[in-house]
C-alpha cells in the first residue's frame, strides 16, 4: 500500500535537496560554462525536433480529449518554427551579460574598510506555470544564466512536451559539466506537488515565481510560505490629454489596444480629457470601431456611435485580454490619475500630451510599475526595455517591479576588505 501523498512528499523532498546541493556549483560557474550549457541545450533542441513534435502530439491529444480551448491548444502546440524560436531564445540568453559577480557599488570608509556590494544568485527558484512548453526552456535558461537552481512545475497538459524539452536542457548542463539537478522538472501531474512547493519546501526553495493566469498567481500569493515574485493582471490605461496631438493619440491607442490583445501590457481602458470630447473623442472611437474593437463607453462615448455599448462599473476593473476597450471621459489629468488609482492594477499606464507639466504630473503621481509619456503601453516588456529575455512583469513592489530579467533573479552580498580594523 503506497500512500500517494507520501510519495509526492518524498519526490519533492528529493528534488528540493538535489536543487540545494546543485546550487553552489551553479553560483560559482563562470559565464563561459553557463553559456556553453545554454548553447548545447539550444543545439539539443534543434537536433530533437522530431521527438519534441512527437511528445507534443501526445499532449495535444490529451488536451483535445480534455476539451481545452482553442487559445490553450494554441499555446500548448510545438512545431518546427516554435522549436527554432525556443533554441534562438536560449542563444539570446547566452548572449546576455552575466549578472553574477558584478560589483553594484563600491566605496571606502574613513577607517579604510573597502566595501563592495556584489551580485549573487537568489538560490533555488521554484517556477509554477501553465501548459506552455516554451516556458520550460525560457525559465530554465534565465535561472541558469543567473546562477540559480530551478524547480519547474508546468501545467499537466504539457508534461510530455516539457519532459522532452527538459531533457535537452539537461543535455546542455551535462555538456558543460554542470550538475544535472541545476534544472529539474517535477515529473508528475499530481496537483499535490504544487501545494507541496508552496507550503512545504521552505528549506529548499528561496523564491517562487508563478507565471500564468490570475487564478494561479492568486493561489501562489495566498498559499506560499516563501517569497513570491508575482505577476498579476495588467489593467493598463491610456489617458489622452487635452494637449494631445490627435494623430499621435490615435496611433498610440490603436497599438496599445490592438497590436496584441492577449498580453499583460495591452491597454484595457481609454481615458479622454473632457476638454477634447468634440475634437478628439469621435476620431479615437471611430478608429477603434473600424478596426473591429468592441467599445464600451460612458454616456459621452455612447453619444458618438450606436455601436458603443454601455460600460458598467465592472468594466473599469476588467482586464479583457481581447479586442474590447472601455472608454471614459474624465476631467483632466488629475481625474485620470484618480481613475487609475481606483481601478488600475499598477502595471503600465501612458499619457498622450504635448503639455510637459501634465506629463510630469502623470509620471510622478501614477503609482504603477511602468508609466509612459507619448508611447504605447505595449512597450511593457523586458526585451523592449533592453533587459533581454524576461520571466514576466512583476506587479509587486518588493524586490522586483516591472520586467523580471536575469538581474531581477539575483540578490547581493557585501564583501568588506580590511587591514586589521576593529570597532572598539
Q: Does 225 bind a copy of itself (CB under 8 A)?
A: yes
Q: Residue 177: phi, psi to the nearest 5?
A: 75, 25
E runs forming strands in 85-123 = 103-108, 114-121
Q: Does 317 bind a copy of itself (CB under 8 A)?
A: no
As given in the structure block, the three cell numbers for residue 269 are 481602458
Q: Which of 96, 88, 83 is nearest to 39 (CA)?
A: 88
Site string for a copy of itself, 14-33 (x = CB under 8 A): ----------x--xx-----
The strand pairing partners of 295, in sequence order, are: 325
Choose the binding region for a copy of itself from 33-41, 129-137, 158-166, 377-385 (rule: CB under 8 A): 377-385
Choose the binding region for a copy of itself from 82-90, 175-183, 268-276, 393-401 (rule: CB under 8 A): 393-401
Contact by Cβ (8 Å): 265, 384 = no
Q: Residue 271: phi, psi to the nearest 5?
A: -105, 130
> Contacts with a copy of itself: how many residues (CB under 8 A)?
63
Q: Does 367 bind a copy of itself (CB under 8 A)?
A: yes
Dihedral of alpha carbons 181, 207, 155, 165, sign: negative
Choose the binding region for a copy of itself from 70-78, 166-174, 190-198, 249-257 (rule: CB under 8 A): 249-257
The nearer residue to a copy of itself, 5 or 113, going by C-beta atoms, is 113
* Least distance from a copy of itself to the Cβ atom of residue 25, Å: 11
CA distance 298 to 310: 6
As given in the structure block, the three cell numbers for residue 52 are 519534441
DSSP letter (8 states) at residue 406:
T
Site string for a copy of itself, 103-132 (x = CB under 8 A): ----x-x---x-x----x-xx---------
Dihedral of alpha carbons 280, 282, 284, 285, sign: positive
CA distance 387 to 392: 12
CA distance 87 to 66: 29
The nearer residue to a copy of itself, 213 or 398, going by C-beta atoms, is 398
* Least distance from a copy of itself to the Cβ atom of residue 355, Å: 14
CA distance 107 to 118: 12
Among 218, 259, 309, 339, which residue interacts with a copy of itself (rule: CB under 8 A)?
259
Q: Does 413 bind a copy of itself (CB under 8 A)?
A: yes
* Least distance from a copy of itself to the Cβ atom of residue 390, Å: 13
3-state secondary structure of 240: strand
Binding site for a copy of itself (CB under 8 A): 24, 27-28, 107, 109, 113, 115, 120, 122-123, 206-207, 222, 225, 227, 245, 248, 251-252, 254-256, 259, 341, 359, 363-365, 367-376, 378-379, 384-386, 396-399, 401-402, 411-424
Amino acid at each position: 500500500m503506497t500512500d500517494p501523498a507520501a510519495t509526492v512528499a518524498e519526490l519533492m523532498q528529493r528534488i528540493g535537496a538535489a536543487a540545494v546541493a546543485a546550487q553552489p556549483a551553479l553560483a560559482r560557474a563562470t559565464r563561459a560554462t553557463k553559456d556553453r550549457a545554454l548553447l548545447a541545450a539550444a543545439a539539443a533542441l534543434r537536433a530533437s525536433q522530431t521527438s519534441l513534435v512527437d511528445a507534443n502530439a501526445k499532449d495535444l491529444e490529451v488536451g483535445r480529449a480534455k476539451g481545452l480551448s482553442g487559445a490553450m491548444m494554441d499555446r500548448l502546440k510545438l512545431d518546427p518554427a516554435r522549436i527554432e524560436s525556443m533554441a534562438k531564445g536560449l542563444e539570446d540568453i547566452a548572449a546576455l551579460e552575466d549578472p553574477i559577480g558584478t560589483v553594484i557599488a563600491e566605496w571606502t570608509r574613513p577607517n579604510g574598510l573597502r566595501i563592495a556590494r556584489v551580485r549573487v544568485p537568489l538560490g533555488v527558484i521554484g517556477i509554477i506555470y501553465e501548459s506552455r512548453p516554451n516556458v520550460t526552456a525560457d525559465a530554465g535558461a534565465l535561472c541558469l544564466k543567473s546562477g540559480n537552481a530551478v524547480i519547474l512545475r508546468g501545467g499537466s497538459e504539457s508534461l510530455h512536451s516539457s519532459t522532452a524539452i527538459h531533457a535537452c536542457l539537461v543535455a546542455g548542463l551535462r555538456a558543460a559539466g554542470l550538475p544535472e539537478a541545476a534544472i529539474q522538472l517535477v515529473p508528475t501531474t499530481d496537483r499535490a506537488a504544487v501545494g507541496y512547493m508552496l507550503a512545504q519546501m521552505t528549506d529548499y526553495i528561496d523564491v517562487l515565481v508563478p507565471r500564468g493566469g490570475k487564478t494561479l498567481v492568486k493561489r501562489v500569493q495566498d498559499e506560499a510560505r516563501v517569497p513570491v515574485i508575482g505577476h498579476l493582471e495588467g489593467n493598463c490605461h491610456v489617458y489622452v490629454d487635452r494637449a494631445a496631438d490627435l494623430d499621435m493619440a490615435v496611433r498610440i491607442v490603436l497599438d496599445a489596444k490592438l497590436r496584441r490583445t492577449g498580453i499583460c501590457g495591452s491597454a484595457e481602458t481609454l481615458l479622454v480629457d473632457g476638454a477634447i470630447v468634440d475634437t478628439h473623442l469621435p476620431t479615437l472611437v471611430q478608429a477603434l470601431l473600424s478596426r473591429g474593437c468592441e467599445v464600451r463607453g460612458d454616456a459621452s462615448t455612447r453619444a458618438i456611435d450606436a455601436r458603443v455599448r454601455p460600460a458598467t462599473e465592472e468594466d473599469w476593473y476588467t482586464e479583457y485580454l481581447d479586442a474590447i476597450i472601455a472608454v471614459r471621459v474624465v476631467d483632466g489629468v488629475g481625474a485620470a490619475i484618480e481613475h487609475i488609482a481606483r481601478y488600475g492594477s499598477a502595471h503600465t499606464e501612458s499619457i498622450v500630451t504635448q503639455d510637459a507639466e501634465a506629463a510630469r504630473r502623470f509620471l510622478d503621481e501614477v503609482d504603477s510599475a511602468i508609466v509612459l509619456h507619448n508611447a504605447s503601453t505595449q512597450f511593457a516588456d523586458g526585451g523592449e526595455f533592453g533587459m533581454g529575455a524576461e520571466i514576466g512583469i512583476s506587479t509587486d513592489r518588493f524586490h522586483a517591479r516591472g520586467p523580471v530579467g536575469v538581474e531581477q533573479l539575483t540578490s547581493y552580498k557585501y564583501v568588506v576588505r580590511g587591514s586589521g580594523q576593529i570597532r572598539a
